[in-house]
Amino acid sequence: MLIFHDIVKQTSAPWAGQKSLPEGVNWIDAASPTPDEAAFLREALKFEPPSLAHMSEIESSSRLYRSRDALVVTLPLPSPNPLGNSPLALAVTPYALVTTRFEPMKVCDPQQVAVGGADRALPGPYGALLAVVESIIDHLADQLEAVTASLVGYSHTVFGDKATPRRQSLQTGLLKRTIQEIGRERALTSQIEETLLAMDRTIGFIEQEAGSQLSPEASARLDRAARDVASLSSHENRLGDKIQFLLDASLGLIGVEQNDIFKVLTLVSVIGIPPTLIASMYGMNFKNIPEYDWAWGYQYGLALIAVSIALPLLWFKWRRWF
């Protein structure tokens, strides 16, 4: 599907089979282009839209290159799929910017791109490129802000009020679920990190290849975008450190809970040894055991068992082992 956009006038219209580029259009959004749509781009812009397989390649030469008169860059954008990113190709032709994608992307929404307003929009393909690049940076910033807010909640879960003994098992289960949620946040920040790295290379490539074609205002906005990318990269690194800290703390707390369980089992086993020994001793069927003839022998055995239980408990309490 092809959508024609005029960044300055903030108008959009789908491709209706025309053979030439409509007047005023400086951005064409190609979402999963069909063979007919690809043929129109070749005829009208002298540009061949890249395939999904080509956009998914990771070599720098496949992500930043020239195709005839077009500058082509491919950005791996964060995807709901935790296994990988969604590639977006940006091609700056002499006539218009062409974005090629194969998934729905918020950064290509005209309303998202026009957040800055028409008064800041620049004409021409580089004006459209700046608008899309700034839209991508804003979207990445929003995602990092959402991750930051989520980590505040996870920090409260991990370092909140200590659970009562009756809720320790529930607390352990909550920590396990928190680890899974934090892991998903780390997968997202890893995708954002890859996108920011690609954005930094993209801005440098554009400044190097199209420096003379950029107006002073476009160059200034491109430099500001580079500074924003650097700032977001630093923020993402701090979030990565915090996520790793929360993961380590969650695992540590689960380990402490498990150690407490083993400690209780150890204490129970130690306390159970003396009464078991006494009961085993008096369970022997020998006729010369004098306690068998005592009038209070049974009560004596029970008392001896109780004392053998109480003494270890008092000892452990005095040593503050529980």
Write the pLDDT tens digit of every residue in 257-303.
Answer: 777 778 888 888 888 888 888 888 888 878 788 887 888 888 888 89
Residue 120 binned pLDDT confidence (cut-offs 50, 70, 90): low
Tokens of 151: 């980590």
Q: Where are the alpha helices (DSSP H) in the chain?
A: 35-45, 52-55, 60-63, 110-113, 124-159, 168-210, 216-282, 297-318
User: 54: buried, middle or exposed (CB in 10 Å: 19+, 13-18, 0-12)?
Assistant: middle
b/e 247-276 (16+ beta carbons within 10 angstroms → b): bebbeebbeeeeeeeeeeeeeeeebeebbe
What is the rounded average pLDDT for all residues in the chain?
82
Q: What does the alpha-carbon distance between residue 155 and residue 247 come to, in Å, rounded to a whole number?
A: 10
Q: What does the alpha-carbon distance between residue 116 and residue 135 come to, in Å, rounded to a whole number?
A: 9
pTM comes to 0.75
Please report the DSSP string for 55-85 in residue order: HT---HHHHEEEETTEEEEEEEE--SSTT--
Higher-confidence position of 113 and 63 = 63
The yes-or-no verdict on residue 114 having pLDDT over 70 is no
Residue 84 binned pLDDT confidence (cut-offs 50, 70, 90): low
Find, among 24, 84, 93, 82, the residue nearest to 57 by Cα.
84
The yes-or-no verdict on residue 131 having pLDDT over 60 is yes
The yes-or-no verdict on residue 160 having pLDDT over 80 is no
Q: Spell out the long-range contacts of 245-250 with Cβ–Cβ below 8 A and sequence spacing 24 or more.
A: 246/151, 246/154, 246/155, 246/158, 246/178, 246/182, 247/179, 247/182, 247/183, 247/186, 249/158, 249/159, 250/158, 250/175, 250/178, 250/179, 250/182
Give me the helix-helix angle, 168-210 and 124-159, nearest 10°.
160
Q: Provide the pLDDT for residue 117.
A: 47
* Length of the chain (residues): 322
Q: What does the alpha-carbon distance between residue 314 and residue 318 come to, in Å, rounded to a whole number?
A: 6
Mean pLDDT of 135-157: 88
Distance spanning both ends of the chain, measured CA to CA = 69
- Bridge-based pairing of strands 97-101 and 27-31 is parallel
Residue 231 binned pLDDT confidence (cut-offs 50, 70, 90): very high
Residue 118 binned pLDDT confidence (cut-offs 50, 70, 90): very low
Q: Where are the alpha helices (DSSP H) in 90-167?
A: 110-113, 124-159
Which residue has tokens 């009560």?
A: 299
The yes-or-no verdict on residue 35 having pLDDT over 60 is yes
